[in-house]
Structures are given as structure tokens and as C-alpha cells.
Amino acid sequence: MQQWFDSPPGSYLLDWEQARYDEAVVDAFGYHGLQLGMPLLDGLRANRMPHRWYALPHPELLGAGPRVPQLLADPVALPFPENSLDLLLLPHTLEQSDDPHAALREAARVLVPEGRLVISGFNPVSLWAWRQARARWYQRLGYGSLYLPDSGEAIGHWRLRDWLRLLSLDVQSLELGCYRPAVRSAHWLRRFAWMDPVGARAWPIFGAAYFVVAVKRVHGMRLLEPAWRTGAKHAGASVPVANRRAVPADGIERTGN
């Protein structure tokens, strides 16, 4: 898969995803962020959390990217306690997992309430996926090569939304991109650059990749406001006066002649 991202279509997709990750994490606040997978992508570079880790799910990916990972971590068994991560990035991680649903459950476990989960993956309903399906058919006949990396099953974004909803992960945004045809040449990818803005308007569901941002919701949880925000509203409260007239000490009110 890493070799494919060095190819012209892989670089095109990588640039699109890098821009999406930069936009998604720049305003994510907290203390602990983790990216799991994709050595060629620096999904946390625009974030300012004090503790940011980069992990790989498989040891054979060591040396595939410019950065050295801090740890190896299985997506279905992350070495973090519950409610410990403020931000978790899964770039193409679910596609390479043997149990993507279990990987999502693990992500929900380690995220703090209101923590952010960011996922990207290949769209199984796209021009690129259709060419991949045709290439698989040709391979069964004994010739041809795959267009996309043969790394696992592509998960549709509609299916992913259902999984996230079951885990109390609220989808904040969903974006699809990379509408250029499934060509291998950098020259032809540049020639078809006009299809990106047109595809986003005319056939948005057929983008080659999707990008999902979800937030962990905890029902019944109430966020505490700062004391200065709750106490200010009582400082200037006025006391209503029912009767402005003075009453004598004996308690009997007398009227004049």
C-alpha cells in the first residue's frame, strides 16, 4: 500500500487527504492525540496538542515514511486506558484491519467524551473502485494488475455511519473527493484536474475517497461551566418591593383624616 501512495494517483490522493486532515485537526483542543497508520501522511502536523503520537499497526511498515513511530499498536487493542485520547486519526486503518468494527469499538473506548475521531478511506462506489473491480476480474483470467492497493475491503461511508452511530459517535462532517478518472499517468491526472470541482457538484457520491469527522457523545453528561460564568448572573439581582409605604412599629397601618 505504501508503494502505491508513491505512484501518481497515490500522490494525488495523499495531497487531498493531507489537506483534509490539516483542516480537521487545527481546531481540536486537548492534551493527547494519536495517528494510527499511513506513514506517508502527517495528520497531526497542524495540531497543537502537547502530546502527539504516531503509531503503526504492522511492524513491516517501519521505514515506509519519513517519521519514526513512537509505538506499534493493534487497532483492536490500543495500549491506552479508557477516556484518555482527545484526538484519534485512522487514515485507511479500518481497511487494513481484520475486524474494522472491533477497531471502531476500541477507538470509542479510548476517546474522552467529546473527543474527535477522524477517518479516511477508499470509496467502494467510485470510478477508481469500478476499475479495481474490473482489474480483479481480469486477474482471474490470468492477466492485468490492480489499480488500487490490495490491502483489504473498502468500507462504504454509509456503512461506516451506521457503525459510528451504534457506538455513540456523532458524525460531524462527511466529505468525498478525488473525482479524476482512474488513470496512472501524472500527465493525464493533471489534464483531468477540471473534474474535481465539477464532480463535487455534479456527482458528489462518486469521489475516490471519503473523509469523516466524528465526536464521541456521552448521554446524560453535563459539562460544567467556569465559576465566573455561573456566578455573574446573581451579582446584580434586584429584590422586589411589594409595599413602598412605611409601616408603624405596632404593625397597625393608620390612614389620615
CATH of domain 4-216: 3.40.50.150
Residue 157 backbone dihedrals phi, psi, to 5 degrees: -65, -30
Q: What is the pLDDT of residue 84?
A: 96
How does pLDDT run across 121-174, given as a tens digit for each residue? 999 999 999 999 888 888 877 777 888 988 778 899 999 999 999 999 999 999
Q: What does 38-53 look like in DSSP terms, one character per residue?
A: -TT--TTTT---SEEE
* Environment class of 83 (CB within 10 Å of its CB; exposed 0-12, middle 13-18, buried 19+): middle
- List 52's β-bridge partners, or say none: 33
Residue 11, H or E segment: helix 8-25
Give this prediction's pTM.
0.82
How does pLDDT run across 196-234, given as a tens digit for each residue? 999 999 999 999 999 999 999 987 655 555 555 555 554
How does pLDDT run across 84-112, given as a tens digit for each residue? 999 999 999 999 888 999 999 999 999 99
As a whole number of angstroms, the distance between CA 125 and CA 142 comes to 25
Q: What is the pLDDT of residue 69?
A: 79
- State the CB neighbour count (10 A cutoff) for residue 104: 25
